Structure 1
Amino acid sequence: MDVVLAVKNYVSRMITDAGPGMKVLLMDRETTGIVSMVYAKSEILQQEVYLFETIDSMHRDEMRHVKVISFLRPTQENIQLLCQELKSPRYGKYYLYFSHAVSKSDVKLLAESDENECVCDIHEFFADYYPIDSNHFTLNLPKCSRHFMWKPSDLTRACHGLTAVLLALKKCPMIRYQVNSDMCCQLADSVKSLISREASLFDFRRADSTPILLILDRRNDSISPLLNQWTYQAMTHELLGIKNSRVDLSKVPGISKDLNEVVLSPLQDQFYCENLYKNFGEIGASIKGLMEEFQAKTRSQQKVESIEDMKAFVENYPQFKKMSGTVAKHVTVVGELSRIVSARNLLEISECEQDVACQSDHSNALQRVRELLKKPTTNPLDALRLVALYSLRYEAHANNATTSLMDQLSSVDGRKIISAIMKYGSIGKRTNHANDFPGAISMTKKFFKGMKGVENVYTQHIPKIKDILDDLLKGKLKEANYPYAGASVMSDRPGDVIVFIVGGTTYEEVACIAAYNADNPGVRVVLGGTTVHNCSSFIDEVRSACAA
């Protein structure tokens, strides 16, 4: 159940099957992003892949002595472009690989277009999703709903992406879905129908326990995307944004050109892999340790007094240079996060957010939100999320406080956004669980290690997905709220669970899943969704869903 390894193995097989010799990798925009998440360019160059092209590029040179590995999504547009390519081939031999099942009619079209008999192989490799880390994937499908219904093309894409995950992991699961979500119901039916149509693809050897695919709606937990985050991965996405494992730092004051964009991938960056779920204070301590290790290596590299020293320097230089880049990258990212936290007063704001979301002191929550809204340092986005959290938390209270708080927002469309969030995440659209909003929680305050005078990590909030998983694995998840797609019902405890959130995941939920897997050795949970949210993208999602 490793979604990264599954895609990497597929790409490795494509390259291996093409055999030795110079190769070109021909992709579309989506498969380019998918491959880049599992292979660094330097790594793939070592396997004689010397050129990367896109199928829609009109300015590709003719190189008949070169093999081409074509890895495309089986869309009608790509099939047409590939047919045109085969009629006037630019390369010597073509190895055609698709990220999902290809229809017989499309295969026939390709065969008819191959007049020069250049095609050596055609195969389906189910890498039709973006693997972020071993237990998290996305489809990069933001704003997929309008009036809380699927856009038809997005429903097809979601179905193909989700079934590709199942095929890559070799799982034929029982499907459960959130009953009060039309989008979950539609997706469950689409996935079930595709599995029935392509039964031969899903004919895997029966496992000891039946896997479960659980399809949820983002509307069931609108709190998680609104909260500021304090783990390294989640915080970076919230404040800087992560897209296909890349972070744009070009707007950071005084940034050097080689750090305009950096890659944060647990597959390619050992430091990031070891620290992505650590809190901000712990990251400070980790960065300090990384720098001390680098300084020690620097001092050892400076001692070049003999032939043996010179030889050791040459042998260690690539590793030294890589470590230098790692240090520069993470020091820059953490430094920028620290600057934003200070400039936007996020420690105080986040403490208030957590208390609003997790405590039950209404008068104190209202007073603190009002005070923060009055502060000139409060960013318009932070003000908006504070009012949104309060509105969701206390929507059942008959008071005019929400209206007065909306009047304090500086943004012109703030009132519209709050109304849309209320519609999106209203109580009537959530399934009933004991801690939709927990009562007073007695929390022992934790400390940011390495940050003087700053206490409280602000991790009171627990995403709702944890309670849903607990109920599922204990056999207590109500069938009335989460029915099965089809007549079969599970009698035993599932061992593998794939959770898919229509409307997007959050990195807080990813950290929760990682901890859940660590605490439950007999269970493996993989989380995926239509997109990965921070607060800004979630607000865009809400606007799209509620658009007139």
Structure 2
Amino acid sequence: MVFDVVTSAAEYVRKIVEGCSGLKALLTDDETLSMIGLVYSQLEAYNKGVFLIEKLDTPRSEQMKHMKCLVFVRPNSTNLNILQRELASPKFGEYHIFFSNIVRKTLLEELADSDTSEVVNEVQEYFLDFYAVAPQLFHLNVLPCVLSASVENPILERLVDGISSLFLALKMRPFIRYDAHSQLCRFICERLSVRMDQENTLFDFRRRESNPVVLILDRMQDPLTPLITPWTYEAMIHELIGIKNNRVNLRHSPDARKGYQEVVLDPKQDGFYNVNRYKNYGDLGVNIKSLVDRFQEKARYNHSTSTIEDMMKFLEAYPELRSSSSEVNKHVTLMSELSRLVTSRHLMDVAQLEQDIACRNSLTEHQNQLFKMLQNPHIHIEDKFRLSLIYALRYEEVTQNRLGEIKDTLKKLGLSAERLQLFSSILRYGGNASRTSDIFQNKSILGIVRNTVRRGIVGVENVFAQHVPLIVHIIDDIMKGRLRETEFPFMIPPSGKNVPKEIIIFITGGVTYQESRAVALINGDSQTESEPEISAAANFAQSNGFRVILGGSTVHNSKSFLAEVSRVAYPWK
């Protein structure tokens, strides 16, 4: 069975679009439009007869009886009301209605009562209620995502809807484990367990060779990874510019030419991005140059049109040349903007200290370097602030940490009182008293050994890749059967020993592209030689047939993560 969120999502969209012949219109809501757009292009839909794509709530007066209407929406009361109005005065010849998740019986009855013209041809449940970003990554576009475990909270119900939809899309009923120190994680798991019991027939899938497992983890266990500057292509773009539904807004970039002020990063359509999305910053410069050189060779080859034969060859190659030109311009523009930001913000200097604080315990040295960085007028205030938060997380319990002086210095530099409050918020959210994880690899004997080995192996060439996200160690522990049940209990323990070959990790509070990259490397979807811990986990996973999917409430960069942390009033326990 396929263990790939993009393939599963795209298959549902294909069934919707290709399920009937003739001229078609596709009506969606805001969420389902984005879900479709991540896995299926407008051109693909057009080639299958979809000539109109609109929101369900768009006012329509024109009669289009010659077209079949495909409706794909979430099964909620808002969409039901709009559908009822549409069916009361149908504009299309027939309707094929697809809901993105389990539909309540009462909703179906109300919908049937509204179809007085008998134009509804079919109603189906297609379980695409999540955003499939990469084969190993999905999110639910849920903000705020730092939540209280309340039965009345509709956002929590959205998390349960999305995760259960993924189970159904992958045709699995996994064992459920959760972060024992998070009420939120336990609440989600309880609701997932109830959902699967209530819909027992839907979740009655053929048994697999090994039972899959889902682990619901709280972001508070690793508040460090979202704060660390990433140095790989996709993660850098999201951190420094921002990615939303595969789109990057470059309108504020001084080097973005007309036509490239918003670009799309679609690995299916963009070969360079597909190959390089997980590559580090140093390799990207070399690969961009190769891309430009290859394009120049093509352009020179097609330049001569002195004969009819030359003209014919040029016209045959022109679509490919134009596509190559667009790809080259897009990635040169992106790399130019990344380079500008890295240089203007002196991010290499900042990141080197970030990595050292994250991976090594040296209070006096780090204090001296941090105060020197705070006094540097060329470093952006937000980078000084983020660096100080990383320092605070490591040294919060050390008496001589001088956090008061650090905050006073930032205040004098112009940091607002609201931002300064984040020191308290992040320590309440993910400080030592709240988390049980060993993110600095200095609590457990295993962590200390890992950190010592890492420092012994890591060289100058990958000084920006020393920090390893917590999920790498968690995945390694799951694969080797050593993830402690006292820390991560099962909702219903399996009978006998169960080492799952298929692992889903869902992080309430959001994931990062850097964590997604680590999972892709573990799955063997990309290669790394300079990150020994990830390489070791990848070798073990691929030798023993493990696959991992990562999901989260949203995909964070440091800015969005700190915006969520600012909501925190009390630690999760």
| Correspondence for 1:480 among 486, 496, 501 | 486
Q: What code does the residue aligned with 2:433 have?
A: G
**Mapping 1:18-417, distance limit 5 Å:** 19-59=20-60, 61-146=62-147, 152-399=153-400, 401-409=402-410, 410-412=414-416, 413-417=418-422
Q: What code does the residue aligned with 1:423 have?
A: R
The residue aligned with 2:546 is 523
Per-residue CA distance 1:266-305 (angstroms, 9 max, x = gap): 2221111110111001001110111111111111111234
Q: Give, in angstroms, the shift of residue 179 of structure 1.
A: 0.5
Q: Give, in angstroms, the shift of residue 403 of structure 1.
A: 1.2
For the 8 Å contact 1:147–1:545, the answer to whether it is kept is: no
| Correspondence for 2:464 among 455, 458, 468 | 458
Which SS does the other structure have where 2:129 is aligned? coil
Q: What code does the residue aligned with 1:156 have?
A: E
Q: Give, in angstroms, the shift of residue 500 of structure 1.
A: 0.2
| Correspondence for 2:568 among 525, 545, 548 | 545
Q: Give, in angstroms, the shift of residue 257 of structure 1.
A: 2.9
Which SS does the other structure have where 1:109 is aligned? helix
The residue aligned with 2:13 is 11
Which piece of structure 1 moves more, 512-521 or 56-65?
Answer: 56-65
Which SS does the other structure have where 2:433 is aligned? helix
Is 1:511 the equivalent of 2:517? Answer: yes
Q: Give the gaps of 5 or more residues in structure 1.
A: 448-455
Q: Give, in angstroms, the shift of residue 423 of structure 1.
A: 0.7
Per-residue CA distance 1:381-419 (angstroms, 9 max, x = gap): 211111100000011211251111111213112320111
Cα pair distance change 1:314/1:490, threshold 3 Å = farther
Q: Distance in 2 between matches of 1:192 and 1:30?
A: 25
For the 8 Å contact 2:67–2:94, the answer to whether it is kept is: yes
Per-residue CA distance 1:76-97 (angstroms, 9 max, x = gap): 1111111111111111110000
Q: Give, in angstroms, the shift of residue 40 of structure 1.
A: 2.0
Cα pair distance change 1:236/1:490, threshold 3 Å = farther
The residue aligned with 2:436 is 431
Q: Distance in 1 between matches of 2:164 and 2:308?
A: 58
Q: Distance in 2 between matches of 1:48 and 1:12?
A: 12
The residue aligned with 2:529 is none
For the 8 Å contact 1:146–1:546, the answer to whether it is kept is: no
Q: Give, in angstroms, the shift of residue 125 of structure 1.
A: 0.7
Which SS does the other structure have where 1:67 is aligned? strand
The residue aligned with 1:453 is none
Q: Distance in 1 between matches of 2:242 and 2:152?
A: 26
Q: Distance in 2 between matches of 1:314 and 1:144?
A: 52
Which SS does the other structure have where 1:37 is aligned? helix
Q: TM-score, normalised by structure 2?
A: 0.91
For the 8 Å contact 2:255–2:336, the answer to whether it is kept is: no
Q: What code does the residue aligned with 1:477 have?
A: L
For the 8 Å contact 1:150–1:183, the answer to whether it is kept is: no
Q: Distance in 2 between matches of 1:365 and 1:188?
A: 41
Q: Cα RMSD between the aligned structures?
A: 1.7
Q: Give, in angstroms, the shift of residue 195 of structure 1.
A: 0.8
| Correspondence for 2:555 among 532, 536, 547 | 532
Q: Distance in 2 between matches of 1:428 and 1:58?
A: 53
Per-residue CA distance 1:206-254 (angstroms, 9 max, x = gap): 1111100011000000000001010001111000001111100011114
The residue aligned with 2:535 is none
Q: What code does the residue aligned with 2:7 have?
A: L
| Correspondence for 1:445 among 451, 459, 465 | 459
For the 8 Å contact 1:143–1:541, the answer to whether it is kept is: yes
For the 8 Å contact 1:238–1:534, the answer to whether it is kept is: yes
Cα pair distance change 1:362/1:151, threshold 3 Å = farther
Q: Aligned residues, how many?
A: 539
Q: Distance in 1 between matches of 2:62 and 2:157?
A: 34
For the 8 Å contact 1:143–1:540, the answer to whether it is kept is: no
Q: TM-score, normalised by structure 1?
A: 0.95
Q: Distance in 2 between matches of 1:150 and 1:325?
A: 49
| Correspondence for 1:2 among 4, 10, 21 | 4
For the 8 Å contact 2:224–2:439, the answer to whether it is kept is: no
Q: Give, in angstroms, the shift of residue 150 of structure 1.
A: 7.9
Q: Distance in 2 between matches of 1:66 and 1:113?
A: 20
Q: Percent identity?
A: 38
Q: Give, in angstroms, the shift of residue 512 of structure 1.
A: 1.0
Which SS does the other structure have where 1:545 is aligned? coil
Q: Distance in 1 between matches of 2:311 and 2:175?
A: 61
Q: What code does the residue aligned with 1:296 have?
A: E
Q: Give, in angstroms, the shift of residue 62 of structure 1.
A: 2.8
Per-residue CA distance 1:293-332 (angstroms, 9 max, x = gap): 1111111111234444333322222221111111000000
Q: Distance in 2 between matches of 1:446 and 1:12?
A: 48
For the 8 Å contact 2:32–2:129, the answer to whether it is kept is: yes
